[in-house]
A and B are shown apart, each in its own frame.
Chain A
């Protein structure tokens, strides 16, 4: 796993929460894909609003996204973004057969993709719940084909109400050689950020 980076302006060790979440999701997705996919926490980013889109892979072509909302006491969004090749390869791995373009997908292909979001979201949020000491529950995954910048923009909106800087976590999923490259974003709301920050303070105090 690569060493994640985080904003130099932040002294908060966000990785203490996001690393275990990524590890947990990696193990779960590894089982789901028979070891064909692994994850690495790429970056916990605290950035200005105008730089949000720069966190996405280059280009502004439409992508397939699996969006998992966080429900419970606090909320947030998990957004998995797949380019066309990656989403096709992933479904092929899961169904053990080649698949056509997204327009030809049936219930089975959509279900495989939704389940990937479900497994990723559940494992990620379970680990995060343990760190935060609160139950964070995944909502049913929603699959959309749209512009990733638009979705990420909407996800950071609640933080933008409070600040010109927004925080999100970027995770890279890779597998099948280089054929599958997926970028996942976890975007907490202001309330969840406060909860996570508090839990890190508590952990820090307990460790002293």
Chain B
């Protein structure tokens, strides 16, 4: 059984459903399609948690806490607190949620994921300071806890930093 929080290296790739807590001189990276990259961070302590959220709600199902929006956010908050962050200082940024196959229809998982994550922030009283969502392209993202900056690369576009 794998741990719910990834063991971090200087550069940690966060896969689907995984969570990494990163600190000074470390970065968390991921490639996102319709999933949401959720970053919670305490800028003063240079600490951040990155989750690669796959689906909006667990519905009570077991599984990695990072897989669902409703389990990832409380888990990240607790992991940050354990790592020394002040929960009252924690802010959030989110990215991802694209529709790479440009499919129409009512099942738009990227948007549902983003809405579910925002609802969790509201419930936990976490301020969402920036977001970069939607579109039809994938994203390669890198979070730097030293600066609290999230770098977002979409193919053929300028790098966006939020």
A binds B: yes
> How many residues from B make CB contacts under 8 Å with A?
29
Complex: chain B residue closest to A149, CB-CB: B31
Q: How many A-B pairs fall under 8 Å by CB?
A: 86
- State in angstroms the CA–CA spacing of A160 and B15 once bound together: 14
Residue of B nearest to A144 (CB): B100
CB < 8 Å neighbour of A154 from B29, B34, B64, B140: B34
Interface contact A151-B100, CB-CB below 8 Å: yes
How many chain A residues have a CB neighbour from B under 8 Å?
28
Asked whether any CB of chain B lies closer than 8 Å to the CB of A108, the reply is no
1/0 per residue, CB under 8 A from A, across B11-43: the answer is 001011110000000000101111100000000
- Taking CB atoms and an 8 Å cut-off, the chain B residues in 28-73 that contact chain A are 29, 31-35, 54-55, 63-64, 67
A161 touches B55 (CB 8 A): yes
- Does the CB pair B15–A150 fall under 8 Å? no
Is the beta-carbon distance between A150 and B138 smaller than 8 angstroms? yes
Contact A60 B31 (CB under 8 A): yes
In contact, A150 and B100 (Cβ under 8 angstroms): yes
Would A53 and B31 count as touching, CB distance under 8 A? Answer: yes
Per DSSP, chain A at the interface is helix
B158 at the interface (CB under 8 A from A): no
Task: Determine if B54 and A157 form an interchain contact, defined as CB atoms under 8 angstroms apart.
Answer: yes
Known A-B contacts A62-B155, A151-B33, A164-B63; A49 and B16 likewise in contact (beta carbons under 8 Å): yes
A166 to B13, CA, bound (A): 20
Any B CB within 8 A of the CB of A73: no
Does A147 sit within 8 A of B, measured CB to CB? yes
Contact of B2 among A50, A53, A77, A155 (CB under 8 A): A50
What are 23 contact pairs spanning A and B, CB under 8 A? Answer: A49-B17, A49-B54, A49-B64, A50-B17, A50-B18, A52-B16, A53-B31, A142-B101, A145-B155, A145-B156, A146-B100, A150-B32, A150-B98, A150-B138, A152-B33, A153-B35, A153-B54, A154-B34, A154-B98, A154-B101, A157-B109, A164-B63, A164-B64
